[in-house]
């Protein structure tokens, strides 16, 4: 299944050099600055662990097709499955 660009997973992290908060999007190289934002709180709300978010930040640097991305991609798959299960329950009601 191909996820529309707008629906791709968003992770928060910190720039490895400056420590500033950043956002990375699944499948996209690079990042966006997120000044004044708390990456840890964002990731917690999204259901991402620290390791998954770090994996996503590294994947945004080195590519989403390298082994470092595996943890982030597994988390995305887990959340998609959870969302699908929730939709099934709501449809049955």
As a whole number of angstroms, the distance between CA 54 and CA 56 comes to 5
Domain encompassing residue 84: 5-92
Number of structural domains found in the chain: 1
pLDDT at site 43:
92
CA 80 from centroid of its chain's CA atoms: 12
Average pLDDT in the 64-84 region? 83
Q: What mean pLDDT value characterizes the chain?
A: 82
pLDDT in tens, 47-63: 888 988 999 999 999 98
Q: What is the mean pLDDT of residues 22-26?
A: 93
Higher pLDDT, 55 or 91: 55
% residues pLDDT > 70 (the chain):
83
Q: Residue 6 pLDDT more than 80?
A: no
The strand ranges marked E within the chain are 10-14, 21-25, 32-33
């Amino acid at each position: 299944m191909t996820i529309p660009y707008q629906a791709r997973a968003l992770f928060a992290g910190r720039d490895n050099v400056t420590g500033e908060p950043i956002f990375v999007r699944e499948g996209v190289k690079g990042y966006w600055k997120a000044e004044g934002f708390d990456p840890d709180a964002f990731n917690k709300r999204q259901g991402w662990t620290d390791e998954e978010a770090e994996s996503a930040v590294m994947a945004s640097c080195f590519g989403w097709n390298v082994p470092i991305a595996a943890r982030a991609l597994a988390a995305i798959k887990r959340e998609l499955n959870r969302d699908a299960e929730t939709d099934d329950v709501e449809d049955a009601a």
